[in-house]
């Protein structure tokens, strides 16, 4: 079993926030691969089904972002999953909008959801970092991530979530580099990323 977690805040008021792109990506995976139905479990909602030749549990914590670790720990403990079996989708302000990077472990970089998960289960889980861009000033970050994507951004957001869903089986099979590269090339081809940017640079 692979546990795939989307990070966000519950409630319709947060649904279109930049901070909720983890929710959006995991919901897109569920829809594309017919994984469901969603059930109230593990202090949130979860759905279970096949993906990439194995089984996955999709989890959207119903706690607020800074308590996400409680839901993740409950699900991981129930299925006796180790850190290599956990993949977390989250927003990343230190990546350009529309970029995706997959990494294992590392710091939380001020992300309260990651900080909470690491405090409950440990640090060396896989993270899918989804770039939402940076507002430019540190004091603007809180308001920026808790604001909705602008209308002009919605096309790339929907496209990216669709590409994540299309390629999710690669992630489930542990082919992280292929997952990342296929999304990067497709986003470039659709004109959402600079053609000169590489799939491994962080800008």
Residues catalogued as catalytic: 19
Compute φ and ψ for 186, nearest 5 degrees.
-70, -40
**Which helix (H) or strand (E) element contains residue 60?**
strand 54-61
Which CA distances in Å does 98 have to 86, 151, 157, 170, 173?
Answer: 23, 15, 7, 19, 23
Please tell me the distance from the alpha carbon of residue 50 to that of residue 35, in angstroms, as a whole number.
Answer: 7
End-to-end CA distance of the chain: 33
Tokens (6 digits) for 83: 């850190």
């Amino acid at each position: 079993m692979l546990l795939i977690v989307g990070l966000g805040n519950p409630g319709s008021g947060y649904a279109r926030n930049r901070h909720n792109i983890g929710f959006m990506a995991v919901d897109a995976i569920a829809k594309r691969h017919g994984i469901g139905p969603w059930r109230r479990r593990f202090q949130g909602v979860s759905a279970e089904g096949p993906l990439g030749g194995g089984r996955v549990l999709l989890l959207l914590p119903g706690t607020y972002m800074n308590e996400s670790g409680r839901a993740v720990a409950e699900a991981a403990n129930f299925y006796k999953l180790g850190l290599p079996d956990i993949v977390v989708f989250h927003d990343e302000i230190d990546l350009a909008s529309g970029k995706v990077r997959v990494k294992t472990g590392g710091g939380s970089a001020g992300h309260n959801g990651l900080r909470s998960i690491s405090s409950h289960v440990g640090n060396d889980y896989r993270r899918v970092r989804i770039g939402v861009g940076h507002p430019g000033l540190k004091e603007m970050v809180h308001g920026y991530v808790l604001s909705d994507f602008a209308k002009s951004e919605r096309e790339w957001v929907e496209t990216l979530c669709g590409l994540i869903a299309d390629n999710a089986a690669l992630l489930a099979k542990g082919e992280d580099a292929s997952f990342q590269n296929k999304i990067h090339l497709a986003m470039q081809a659709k004109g959402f990323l600079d053609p000169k940017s590489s799939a491994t640079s962080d800008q």
